[in-house]
Amino acid sequence: MFRPSWVLRNQLALGSAPVSVHHLQELQSNRIVAILALCSSGEAPLPFGLTHRFEFHRFVLPDHKSCVVLPPSQIQAAYQLLVPLVATGSVYVHCQAGVERSPLLCMAWLMVNRSLSLLDALAYLKSVHPSTGPLPDQLASLRKWYQLYHSGRIPSSSHT
């Protein structure tokens, strides 16, 4: 069942990829105005009409199927896309299943914008989106990103 989980009501929601027109209607009924996809189009093809109904951005982050460790620079690049979107209205962040990548980016947002620790952000997301399950190496990358962000040594958005 497709159902967005609100991280912060009317600001930030997350979940699995919308793959049908019904899913788009569900997002519209929740007043979502923008979508940030963190998975490739091969993982979750866009349903017809998505780009006409929403402001849409895609930034592919590696998941557990990838042999690539998520670098802090990619978290930064995705975060830089998310921040202005949240400022314009309700944003839906998704990856393929809503388990690893979209919760991880929402954790980054909570750590910066709500001053939560990594563990508090993880616990909070699990309470509002129980399927949250970033892997240990993804959490380590998030911790490293936050240390760099907080110290002002933000990693470049280039792929490393």
The percentage of residues in the chain with a pLDDT greater than 90, rounded to a whole number, is 85
83 lies in some domain: yes
pTM over 0.75: yes
Domain count, the chain: 1
153 is written with which tokens? 């040594």
Give, in degrees to the nearest 5, the angle at Cα 56 between 14 and 119: 30
160 lies in some domain: no
32 lies in some domain: yes
pLDDT, one tens digit per residue, over 29-80 is: 999 999 999 999 999 888 999 999 999 999 999 998 888 889 999 999 999 9
pLDDT, one tens digit per residue, over 116-160 is: 999 999 999 999 999 999 999 999 999 999 999 988 887 555 433
pLDDT, one tens digit per residue, over 80-104 is: 999 999 999 999 999 999 999 999 9
158 lies in some domain: no
62 lies in some domain: yes
What strands, in cross-sheet order, belong to the sheet with 32-37?
5-8, 12-15, 90-94, 32-37, 55-58
Q: Domain residues for 118?
A: 5-151
Instruction: List the CATH number of the domain containing 46.
Output: 3.90.190.10
Question: What is the model's pLDDT at position 66?
Answer: 84
157 lies in some domain: no
Give, in degrees to the nearest 5, the angle at Cα 90 between 88 and 96: 120
70 lies in some domain: yes
Q: How far apart are the first and last CA of the chain?
A: 36
